[in-house]
Amino acid sequence: MLLEFTDITSDPAWAGSSWKVVSGDELAKLVARVALGQSRYALHVLEQIGFVSPKAAASTLTGAIKLLTAPDPKKPYQRDGWIFQVLSWIAAHLQDRSALIREPHMYHAHKGFDGIHVKVDADTKRVMFVVVCEEKATENPRKTVREKVWPEFEGLEKAERDHQLLSEVIAVLRTDPEVDVDQAIEEIVWKDARSYRVAVTVGDTDDPADTFDGYPGVVAGEIVRRRAEVLPLKELRAWMADIANKAIAHAKELTAPNV
């Protein structure tokens, strides 16, 4: 097990979980796979215990190292943000193995949605709902949520980015040939079948109730529409740097020629 989850809630405002990293070394190996463009193999590792994925092409190493490196060590925000989005992608797969989940972006500072999940009924293959994700590695979780996440969710609730959302959702749905994409679009647009998931890093003294204060005022409706996730870390930047260094080392091993 890479991560353990403990339920947290502020009923009826929101519900979610707190993550605990069980093995930073194993987590770094999956981060390396994703950085090398092998998220498909990383997913197989999550789904199949003992799965051994192939070596990576040497040509992918330079790009992977770029993703895992902060150009300015004093400002590692984009690198750490990318790593956290990968961790959130891993967490999402461990929490719900049946959902269709968009793969992580392969560049820093993406301007679109941090994550998109599509929950599909296993029997009917009808889309039940879409989850729009905001994922932030931050040392100031309350400020980040209030000033960056809530405005994004408010805009989505006002349908200001529906054209972008539909484009992203269609791309995810096409990964499952059994889903009727046209019907799914109608469900999403006309029935407003969407919910939200915010994931942030927090410190030891951060209270999730304070961090996510105001959620119902941003996203109305049942509690199921408001998901909140936290990863408690004592030293965020040092921890992320350690994961990055381990991932780079593993990426080099995966791309090294066989002796």
| Mean pLDDT of the 115-139 span | 92
Q: Return the bridge partners of 16, or none.
A: 8, 228
Classify residue 198: in a domain, yes or no.
Answer: yes
Classify residue 216: in a domain, yes or no.
Answer: yes
| β-strands 115-120, 100-101 pairing | antiparallel
Q: Which two tokens stand for residue 189?
A: 């647009």
Integer Cα distance of 44 and 62 in angstroms: 24
Q: Which two tokens stand for residue 176?
A: 């499952």
Q: How many domains does the chain have?
A: 1
Integer Cα distance of 28 and 30 in angstroms: 5
Classify residue 224: in a domain, yes or no.
Answer: yes
Integer Cα distance of 84 and 240 in angstroms: 8
Q: What confidence tens digit (pLDDT) does each residue in 194-227 have?
A: 899 999 999 989 999 999 999 999 999 999 999 9
Task: Tell me how far CA of residue 155 lies from CA of 15, 47, 162, 165, 244, in angstroms.
Answer: 21, 35, 10, 12, 33
Residue 190 has pLDDT above 80, yes or no: no
Classify residue 4: in a domain, yes or no.
Answer: no
Integer Cα distance of 224 and 226 in angstroms: 5
- 140 Cβ contact list (under 8 Å, min separation 6): none
Residue 130 has pLDDT above 90, yes or no: yes
| pLDDT recorded at residue 53 | 64
Q: Which two tokens stand for residue 47?
A: 């789904």
Task: Tell me how far CA of residue 196 lies from CA of 21, 90, 118, 155, 244, in angstroms.
Answer: 23, 17, 11, 12, 28
Task: Tell me how far CA of residue 46 lies from CA of 18, 84, 94, 96, 176, in angstroms.
Answer: 19, 17, 7, 11, 19
Q: What is the DSSP letter of 190?
A: H
Nearest CA to 148 out of 139, 161, 135 is that of 135
| pLDDT recorded at residue 84 | 98
Neighbours of 257 (CB within 10 A): 6
Q: What confidence tens digit (pLDDT) does each residue in 77-101 have?
A: 999 999 999 999 999 999 998 899 9
Integer Cα distance of 232 and 132 in angstroms: 22
Q: Which two tokens stand for residue 241?
A: 């740097």
| pLDDT recorded at residue 206 | 95
| pLDDT recorded at residue 259 | 39
| β-strands 115-120, 127-136 pairing | antiparallel
Contact 230, 202 (CB under 8 A): yes
| pLDDT recorded at residue 229 | 99
Average pLDDT, the chain: 92
Lowest mean pLDDT among 1-5, 111-115, 152-156, 180-184: 180-184
Classify residue 161: in a domain, yes or no.
Answer: yes
Classify residue 9: in a domain, yes or no.
Answer: no
Classify residue 143: in a domain, yes or no.
Answer: yes
Classify residue 227: in a domain, yes or no.
Answer: yes
Contact 196, 227 (CB under 8 A): yes
Q: Which residue has the tokens 């500072």?
A: 109
Q: Which residue has the tokens 């960056």?
A: 148
Range of the domain at 60: 21-255
Determine the Cα angle at 108 with ends 77 and 174, to 5°: 135
Q: What confidence tens digit (pLDDT) does each residue in 4-58 have?
A: 999 999 999 999 999 999 999 999 999 999 999 999 888 887 776 555 667 888 9
